[in-house]
């Protein structure tokens, strides 16, 4: 295996020492020991109780409300660009994305995500909801490593926890308007306050976006392909029935409409014909958007939930009930060439009910615990209708029912004042039933986790963790003529992690370092073919090693620096020929697990200048380097390394902010996602284009 990650880690550490730690130490030594200036202390509730970020034995990237504003976090892809070993790409349609965390991939189609994605404690029960806009947000926490004991099914790679702003006891209002290149306009707002008295509160927020687009299909009269219209509304009512009982009701409606299927051919196309006919070469240009039609897609969702908390004094009993309805579809050119070869229409409809009951002890005792049960039920219909050379092909249709029962527990004990032992478990029993194929199977798994954390001093924590993660198997959405197997098996992994985190220089620096080893069994991998089949296969054995380093520093009162570094090194150790996969096993064994950059580095500097009349001028630069990314199991297709730079300048007062920003300043051109023709049987390789440079102006007001 290559030692490139080690060289990259040494280079990154040298860069950190030269640009951050040395100036930080010098400035601290020269200061008057002003302890009043320090980095904002972050409080997280990842273990269902309020704790300092530096006291939690997990690898966590946390964003406060202030950081969300500074970074302009409006979707998960922005979170990913600031989080080591997290990659999020939009591709194919407005609801589809591919998320990779520590080399653990998203399963598309009717597959499942690799993280538990929760908003206000409620699971996003459909993978199409991870692309939703984030507005009126209080915090975002990214937990890496298996998190099933606390955050439910599919937390095999981690959890993304989003908290929206709470209802307030006093009236509060906010408004934001943004205009950017591509005739990209958005308006959002919020209102909050008491309905009758301080025991009955509300919060309502919305966001509307209308974008013409920036990417064009030059072969169809220069029409924009990345257009988008979206509307979102969220309402919450918080009723404090007594000092012990509270009821939190939440409803959310989302609608997204936009372009679809504007992949670019990554190779000259050919049309596969049955023997004895020879393939017909297309000779189409490559890496140019050239579909013979403008694709369309949409995602509509409605979600209602109720969270009831009762405080017994020694612990809190919580019930979370949710119902989600999601309808989506797309109409697109599947072959992505100038020719009318393969078109596809997708319909995806689901209804989901979820119930969780948990009991969490108070945090005053040496022994702390959380335990509960979960139930999940989903009915989902998905149809992919393909047209080949103008002739309809029988659709790949699947009516899938999912049912999951789970029990979980998390127990922490202070062996000494400086030593904490945490034991956790989750037991899942999940049954997918494909009524179309007449097949049903039950997958179950016990997932233990153990962690030992030692406090070297106040604000410096070391830990070691061993945990098991699990994702259930299921059934593929097969079309006639496909060679893929009807189903795929469950996957599991054992993750070994050690970390060190804490603060220094009187709170002027916060840092975290983690190293991990993942022993992966039957990793699920998504593929599709020209029949319209979307399938998952299993890779029997692979190994992933890697690490993350994060530093936030305040060398002087007016300057904040952020550094994040992540790397992975992996190997597919066991693999056998799989029906439907056109590449032999001999070309896959020993290769890297595809989907994530080999290493990535993000740097940010924010300077605040005080102006008269209580104004601040806030300047910010964000730089991100993504090293090469392997797209395919045989590692033949690679996205070379590239660099992204964002700039912003804001004038801030207590009640309003005006910000000018430029994303992708140098108009870097890269590939968001890639599918190779030799794996999927399409006429050409297809590649999803990156977003071009975009400048915009934003104004927000709050009172």
Domain ranges of the chain: 4-702
Q: Give the span between the Cα atoms of 253 and 233, in whole angstroms.
A: 5
Structure tokens at 144: 């890496």
pLDDT score, position 682: 81
Q: Give the span between the Cα atoms of 632 and 637, in whole angstroms.
A: 6
Using CB atoms within 10 Å of the CB of residue 55, give its burial: 0 to 12 exposed, 13 to 18 middle, 19+ buried: middle
pLDDT above 90 (res 39): no
Q: Give the span between the Cα atoms of 396 and 465, in whole angstroms.
A: 43
Q: Give the span between the Cα atoms of 595 and 106, in whole angstroms.
A: 10
The answer to whether the CB of 142 falls within 8 A of the CB of 83 is yes
pLDDT above 90 (res 664): yes
Contacts of 163 (CB under 8 A, 6+ apart): 119, 120, 137, 138, 139, 140
Q: 207-243: per-residue pLDDT in tens?
A: 999 999 999 998 899 999 999 999 999 999 999 999 9
Q: Give the span between the Cα atoms of 533 and 386, in whole angstroms.
A: 10
pLDDT score, position 676: 92
CA distances from 303 to 252, 255, 597 (A): 5, 12, 34
pLDDT above 60 (res 16): no
pLDDT score, position 276: 64
Asked if residue 233 has a cis previous peptide bond (ω within 30° of 0), the answer is no
The answer to whether the CB of 271 falls within 8 A of the CB of 341 is yes
Give the least confident one: 16-25, 259-268, 355-364: 16-25
Q: Which of 408, 557, 455 is nearest to 36 (CA)?
A: 557
DSSP annotation of 477 reads B
pLDDT score, position 274: 58
DSSP annotation of 19 reads I
Q: List, as own/partner pairs, every contact residues 424-429 make where C-beta atoms lie below 8 angstroms and the sequence separation is at least 24, other chains included.
A: 424/149, 424/150, 424/448, 424/449, 424/450, 424/451, 424/467, 425/149, 425/449, 426/148, 426/149, 426/470, 428/148, 428/153, 428/404, 428/470, 428/472, 429/404, 429/405
Using CB atoms within 10 Å of the CB of residue 605, give its burial: 0 to 12 exposed, 13 to 18 middle, 19+ buried: middle
The answer to whether the CB of 84 falls within 8 A of the CB of 564 is yes
Read off the pLDDT of each residue in 146-156 and give the average, rounded to a whole number: 88
pLDDT band at residue 123, thresholds of 50, 70 and 90? confident
Beta bridge partners of 381: 349, 399
Structure tokens at 470: 């699990």
Angle at the Cα of 123 (from 53 to 399), degrees rounded to 5? 150
pLDDT score, position 270: 72
Q: 583-626: per-residue pLDDT in tens?
A: 999 999 999 999 888 999 999 999 999 999 999 999 999 999 99
Q: Which of 311, 304, 393, 317 is nearest to 352 (CA)?
A: 304
pLDDT above 80 (res 11): no
pLDDT band at residue 53, thresholds of 50, 70 and 90? confident
Q: Give the span between the Cα atoms of 498 and 333, in whole angstroms.
A: 47
The length of the chain in residues reads 703
Q: Give the span between the Cα atoms of 86 and 625, in whole angstroms.
A: 13
Read off the pLDDT of each residue in 285-292 and give the average, rounded to a whole number: 90
Element spanning 25, H or E: helix 22-30
CA distances from 256 to 230, 327, 479 (A): 4, 11, 28
**Measured on CA atoms in the order 526, 668, 648, 14, is the torsion positive or negative?**
positive
pLDDT above 70 (res 8): no
Rg (CA), the chain: 25
Tokens 């979370």 identify what position?
320
Query: Could you give the strand order of the β-sheet that contains 97-101, starting from the edge strand earlier in sequence?
Result: 86-90, 97-101, 104-105
Give the least confident one: 403-407, 443-447, 674-678: 674-678
Read off the pLDDT of each residue in 10-15 and give the average, rounded to a whole number: 41
pLDDT above 80 (res 44): yes
Q: List, as own/partner pairs, every contact residues 29-34 make where C-beta atoms lie below 8 angstroms and the sequence separation is at least 24, other chains included.
A: 33/506, 34/557
DSSP annotation of 106 reads P
pLDDT score, position 363: 79
The answer to whether the CB of 321 falls within 8 A of the CB of 362 is no
**Strand, helix or coil for residue 179:** strand
Using the CB atoms, write b or e for 489-527: b if 16+ within 10 Å.
bbbbbbbebebebbbbbbbbbbbbbbbbebebbbbbbbb
pLDDT score, position 97: 84
**Strand, helix or coil for residue 459:** coil
pLDDT band at residue 425, thresholds of 50, 70 and 90? very high
Q: 478-517: per-residue pLDDT in tens?
A: 888 888 999 999 999 999 999 999 999 988 999 999 999 9
Q: 244-254: per-residue pLDDT in tens?
A: 999 999 999 99
The answer to whether the CB of 180 falls within 8 A of the CB of 697 is yes
Q: How many helices (H) and strands (E) does the chain have?
A: 6, 44
**Measured on CA atoms in the order 128, 130, 131, 137, is the torsion positive or negative?**
positive
Read off the pLDDT of each residue in 407-436 and give the average, rounded to a whole number: 95
> Which numeric CATH code is attached to 4-702?
2.40.170.20
pLDDT band at residue 90, thresholds of 50, 70 and 90? confident
| Alpha-carbon dihedral 663, 664, 669, 671, rounded to 10 degrees | -60
Structure tokens at 198: 């301080």
Q: Which of 188, 156, 53 is nearest to 494 (CA)?
A: 156
pLDDT above 60 (res 370): yes
pTM of the predicted model, to two decimals?
Answer: 0.91
**Strand, helix or coil for residue 224:** strand
Q: Give the span between the Cα atoms of 472 and 114, in whole angstroms.
A: 11
Query: DSSP readout, 559-606?
Result: EEEEEEEEEEEEEEEE----TT--S-GGGTTTPPPSSSBSEEEEEEEE
Percent of the chain with pLDDT over 70: 93
Alpha helices in 37-164, H assignment, sequence order: 65-71, 76-81, 148-151
pLDDT band at residue 36, thresholds of 50, 70 and 90? low
The answer to whether the CB of 222 falls within 8 A of the CB of 216 is yes
pLDDT above 80 (res 259): yes
Q: What's the mean per-residue pLDDT of the chain?
A: 89
């Amino acid at each position: 295996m290559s030692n490139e990650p080690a060289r990259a880690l040494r280079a990154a550490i040298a860069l950190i020492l030269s640009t951050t730690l040395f100036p930080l130490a010098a400035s601290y030594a020269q200061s008057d020991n002003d302890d009043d200036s320090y980095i904002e202390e972050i409080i997280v509730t990842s273990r269902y109780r309020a704790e300092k970020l530096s006291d939690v034995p997990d690898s966590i990237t946390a964003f406060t409300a202030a950081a969300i504003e500074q970074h302009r976090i409006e979707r998960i892809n922005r979170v990913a660009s600031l989080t080591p070993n997290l990659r999020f790409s939009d591709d194919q349609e407005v609801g589809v994305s591919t998320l990779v965390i520590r080399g653990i991939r998203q399963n598309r189609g009717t597959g499942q995500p690799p993280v538990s994605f929760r908003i206000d404690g409620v699971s996003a029960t459909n993978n199409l909801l991870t692309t939703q806009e984030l507005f009126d947000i209080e915090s975002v926490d990214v937990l890496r490593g298996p998190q099933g004991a606390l955050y439910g099914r599919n937390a095999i790679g981690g959890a993304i926890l989003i908290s929206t702003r709470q209802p307030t006891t006093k009236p509060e209002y906010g408004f934001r308007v943004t205009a950017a290149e591509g005739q990209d306009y958005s308006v959002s707002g919020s209102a909050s306050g008491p309905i009758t008295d301080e025991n009955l509160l509300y919060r309502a927020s919305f966001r509307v976006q209308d974008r013409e687009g920036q990417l064009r299909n030059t072969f169809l009269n220069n029409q924009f392909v990345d257009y988008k219209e979206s509307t979102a509304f969220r309402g919450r009512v918080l009723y404090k029935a007594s000092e012990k009982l509270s009821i939190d009701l939440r409803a959310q409606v989302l609608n997204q409409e936009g372009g679809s299927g504007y992949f670019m051919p990554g190779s000259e196309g050919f049309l596969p014909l049955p023997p004895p006919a020879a393939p017909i070469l297309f000779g189409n240009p490559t890496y140019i958007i050239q579909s013979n039609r403008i694709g369309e897609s949409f995602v509509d969702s409605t979600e209602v939930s109720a969270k009831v908390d009762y405080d017994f004094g020694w612990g809190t009993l919580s019930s979370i009930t949710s119902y989600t309805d999601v309808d989506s579809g797309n109409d697109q050119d599947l072959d992505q060439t100038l020719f009318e070869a393969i078109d596809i229409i997708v319909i995806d409809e689901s209804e989901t009910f979820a119930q969780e009951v948990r009991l969490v002890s108070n945090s005053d005792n040496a022994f702390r615990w959380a335990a509960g049960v979960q139930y999940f039920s989903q009915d989902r219909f998905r149809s992919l209708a393909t047209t080949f050379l103008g002739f309809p092909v029988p659709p790949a249709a699947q009516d899938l029912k999912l049912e999951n029962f789970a029990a979980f527990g998390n127990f922490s004990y202070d062996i000494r004042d400086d030593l904490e032992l945490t034991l956790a478990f989750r037991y899942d029993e999940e049954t997918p039933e494909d009524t179309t194929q007449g097949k049903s199977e039950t997958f179950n798994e016990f997932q233990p986790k153990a962690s030992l954390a030692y406090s070297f001093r106040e604000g410096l924590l070391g830990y070691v963790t061993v945990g098991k993660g699990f994702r259930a198997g299921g059934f593929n959405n097969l079309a006639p003529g496909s060679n893929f197997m009807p189903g795929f098996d469950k996957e599991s992994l054992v993750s070994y992690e050690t970390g060190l985190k804490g603060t220094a220089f009187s709170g002027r620096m916060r840092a975290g370092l983690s190293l991990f080893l993942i022993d992966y069994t039957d990793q699920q991998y998504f593929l599709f073919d020209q029949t319209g089949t979307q399938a998952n296969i299993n890779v029997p054995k692979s190994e992933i090693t890697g690490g993350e380093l994060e530093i936030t520093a305040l060398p002087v009162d007016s300057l904040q620096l952020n550094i994040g570094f992540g790397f992975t090194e992996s190997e597919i150790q066991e693999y056998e020929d799989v029906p439907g996969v056109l590449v032999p096993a001999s070309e896959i064994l020993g290769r890297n697990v595809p989907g994530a950059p080999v290493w990535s580095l993000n740097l940010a500097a924010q300077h605040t200048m005080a102006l008269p009349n209580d104004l601040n001028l806030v300047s910010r630069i964000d730089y991100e380097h993504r090293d090469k990314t392997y797209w395919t199991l045989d590692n033949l297709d690679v996205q070379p390394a590239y660099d992204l730079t964002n700039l912003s300048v804001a004038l801030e007062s207590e009640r309003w902010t005006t910000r000018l920003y430029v994303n992708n300043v140098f108009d870097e051109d890269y590939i968001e996602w890639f599918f190779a023709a030799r794996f999927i049987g399409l006429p050409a390789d297809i590649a999803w284009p990156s977003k071009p440079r975009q400048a915009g102006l934003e104004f927000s007001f709050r009172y």
